[in-house]
Structure 1
Amino acid sequence: MSNTLFDRLFKLQAHGTTIKKEVVAGLTTFAAMSYILVVNPSILGLSGMPVEGLITVTALAACLGTLLMAFMTNYPIALAPGMGLNAFFAFTICMSREIHWEAALGIVFWNGILFLLLSLTGVRTKIAESIPPSLKIGVQCGIGLFIAFIGLKNAGLVVDNPATFVSLGDLSDPAVMLALLGVLFTVVVVAKNINGGILMSIVLLTLIGAFVPTENGMLTQTPDAIVGLPEPITSTFFAMDIWYPIENFAQTWDLIFALMFVNMFDTIGTLIGVSRRANLLNKDGKLPKIGSAMTADATASVVGATLGTSPVTSYVESATGAATGGRTGLTAIVVALSFLLALFLTPLMKVIPLMATTPALIMVGILMMESIRQLDFDDMGALATASVALLAMPLTFSISEGIALGFITFVGVKMGMGKFKEVSKLTYFLALVFVLRYVFDLK
């Protein structure tokens, strides 16, 4: 393609950018979020899904979702299976609720369809405005704590204890100590704003793991090859059970809602944050094509469900590419192509031990806690709502329970203080539904 064609497609000159800047930005974004190729399969594998092909599924979902965003909005925003959403899929839907992974994919599918309908009709804006800010903060921070807790558990840094429920793991275990050092290393490189810092941590721990002995040999196994063809996805492609959520609506409605709730606010927050970094907001501070962006995000979740993965969403790591000059969809296309090329390194990715991915989980959890500073600590109602939501998620091992208890707390405190008009009708309705759900044990 000539420069003229690129400029016609992506309006490079109008955005004050060049092909070189867009390519560099795309590679930067990919480096920052490529850890998902390893972390997502490790989480989904815990749900009972067949591990073979999950790297391919993750890469294809990221590629297709990112291409949708590029061509529908011309924004430098990349998509992939979302952190937090994959944990919700594996630990809440499949493990806590004991729903088989095919049925869980059906729940993801209908979540995407609902999210798409709300985006196309504009109802999503009214829903977003009706949810109290304190609950949004509590949910995001709660998911962060939940993800970090999973990372600590997988690393062996936190273990179960019959007396205290949880306690410190065995730090004399070389693998556990290596995970702890990995957490420290990851925090340092991210704090120094080193692009791809989380990926660096995974690679470093994998290399060190080749010299750490375990009962079954070295922690990191020797790969069969350096490069190879991507694994097939026949075991997950269109394996979703789309009828399960309909036939068992009483048991799944809250899961669909929770997924939509988390996906919606995660997407809106990411879109605004990245767009601000890329100077894409208009004079009123609004994103011109937010409707198209939300539609692309919702469509990506539907596509992801058909491939066999948890909801696909916009990635905040896209801000790293925006910071290096990425301004258009060409940045996103570079990210999408990078995901495809990475598939040929599948043999290397398959030998990465679970321990090496745990610092990434903990680091993502730490980053999600950042929004706590937006909470009004002088408002007891807001503080209580956020605290209940963020504590309930890791302690109940369920994101949906945290959301439900957060709604009930917010409405209960406002009613108790006589501030009835400060609660939207939708929030009243949802709080009532969640109360009835607990009273009649509808789960």
Structure 2
Amino acid sequence: MERLFKLQQHGTTLAKELSAGFISYITVVYIIIVNATILAAAGIPLEAGIIATILTSFFGCLIIGFWSNTPILLIPGMGLNAMFTYTIVQSGGFTWQEALAMVFVTGLIFVVIAFTPVANVITSSIPNSLKEAITIGIGILLILIGFDNAGIITDSEHTLLAIGNLSSPGAVTTIIGLIITVILFIKNVPGNLLLSILITSLLSIWIGGSKVEGISLTMPSLQEYLGVFGQLSWAQAGNIVFWLTSISLAMVVVFENIGLIHGHNKMLKSTEDGKKSLQATGISVLASGIFGTSPTVASVESAAGITAGGRTGLTTIVTGILFLASILFIPVIKIVPASAVSPILILIGVLMLQNIVHISMDDLTESFPALLIIVLIPLTYSIADGMAIGFVLYPLLKLLLGKGKEVHPALYFIAILFFSNFVIQYVF
């Protein structure tokens, strides 16, 4: 164990790593039902989505734990699952099988970037204002999805959006659940998000918002999941929009993971550049498409394990094994209603908004493109389209105002890719 994970070198012990792994699991296990619920909106059967999420998280945690020896969790990413379902499938008109093929392509692009010097070029080319804006925009989108799923916000003929029926069981449960979730989170109660889902689910059952059927701790039938595993469709491979959407997804995935891994390494006070973590993440994203889910990310909840004393990949491996054990509890997980998931989406979205303090408002050539990304991601219901407008406008403003030299050459190329995507999708 010492030879494999170098516990003493990292100033940790076996007991600390095991404890941190368990705490990490309790903090992030909510992703099983949340991710599966979002995938279900794309057409992936709920139980199959649950199994896909579990297996992807298990594989991702093991590969980063062994390959990079860091306590970073790789699980399907919030925001990316929304992009998969609401942008690519529902808005883009692709099937979930074609979307899984895009995830696979994204993984291939990520692997090429992670195992070559391209990763360093991309990292240095994207200004911090745009990086922060993507996170904030995704946060607002998650808040919108959370309120929409609960029926608290609904569409309106005259104002686009309006308040829904607040007396419905789903709305009442979500409002009370949100209050409970925020209190538990502020008080830093261990396993606060999981506890919130449990309390809100029981509340929903009590007021008649959901029903409990037969529950047993048994191995689930894999028959339904086999209809999802490896079911990548290349039917649209001859469509240029398929490839441009894949590139857009890849850019979102790469940018988000580069930022997250950098942040986790700062928490660890690590002197490493995170290259191995990025490589493991790329392989995990590639596998996500095969397992049947949206791309994985270096989860922000990794901070919980790090705060609990996790310093090596052993923490992540423990979490991964616990994820695999979760497969026995699928009948229990399936009764969790959408009203118990919505408060989690809203809370995570609000937390992501805090990054706005890192955007300087003094220079409009920096802040204006960033603010447009923040606003347009939720308004267009598309992470890729919101990003594209900001990434095109940023170098354009700099160039027109005589500040073109402040823009990294690679960003001009990225802007051209985004602009080409717009032209092909909306002009032709």
Q: TM-score range by the shorter chain?
A: over 0.9
| Amino acid corresponding to residue 347 of structure 2 in structure 1 | M
State the identity %.
35
Q: 1:378 and 1:414, CA in 2 relative to 1: closer, same or farther beyond 3 A? A: same
| 2:415 counterpart of 1:420 | no
What corresponds to 1:225 in structure 2? 215
Q: Which moved more, 1:252-261 or 1:367-376?
A: 252-261
Q: How far did 1:67 drift?
A: 0.3
* Separation in 2, partners of 1:378, 1:433: 29
What corresponds to 1:36 in structure 2? 31
Q: Deviations over 1:226-276 (max 9, x none)?
A: 4121341201111012x345322x212332222222212221222222222
Out of 391, 397, 422, the residue aligned to residue 438 of structure 1 is 422
| Amino acid corresponding to residue 263 of structure 1 in structure 2 | V
What corresponds to 1:235 in structure 2? 227
Q: 1:432 and 1:12, CA in 2 relative to 1: closer, same or farther beyond 3 A? A: closer
Q: How far did 1:224 drift?
A: 1.4
Q: How far did 1:436 drift?
A: 4.2
| 2:380 counterpart of 1:385 | no
Q: Deviations over 1:346-397 (max 9, x none)?
A: 1100111111100111111112212111101111122211111011111011
Q: 1:405 and 1:65, CA in 2 relative to 1: closer, same or farther beyond 3 A? A: same
Map of 1:77-116 to 2, 5 A cutoff?
77-116=72-111
Residue 278 of structure 1 contacts residue 323 of structure 1 at CA under 8 Å; is this kept in 2?
A: no
* Separation in 2, partners of 1:136, 1:16: 32
Q: Deviations over 1:94-140 (max 9, x none)?
A: 00011001010000000000100111112011012111221111111
Runs of 5+ unmatched residues, structure 1: 1-5, 214-218
User: SS where residue 244 of structure 2 aligns?
Assistant: helix
What corresponds to 1:257 in structure 2? 247
Map of 1:19-418 to 2, 5 A cutoff?
19-213=14-208, 219-232=209-222, 233-241=225-233, 243-244=234-235, 246-248=237-239, 250-279=240-269, 281-282=270-271, 287-288=272-273, 290-418=274-402
User: SS where residue 162 of structure 2 aligns?
Assistant: strand
Runs of 5+ unmatched residues, structure 2: none
Q: How far did 1:315 drift?
A: 0.8
* Separation in 2, partners of 1:301, 1:245: 20
User: SS where residue 247 of structure 1 aligns?
Assistant: coil
* Separation in 2, partners of 1:76, 1:205: 30
Residue 244 of structure 2 contacts residue 421 of structure 2 at CA under 8 Å; is this kept in 1?
A: no
* Separation in 2, partners of 1:56, 1:44: 12
What is the CA RMSD across the aligned residues, in angstroms? 1.5
Q: TM-score, normalization: structure 2? A: 0.96
User: SS where residue 376 of structure 1 aligns?
Assistant: coil
Q: Which moved more, 1:107-116 or 1:167-176?
A: 167-176
Count of residues paired in the alignment: 425
Q: Deviations over 1:128-162 (max 9, x none)?
A: 21112211111111111111111110011111110
Q: How far did 1:422 drift?
A: 1.3
| Amino acid corresponding to residue 270 of structure 1 in structure 2 | L
* Separation in 2, partners of 1:225, 1:185: 26
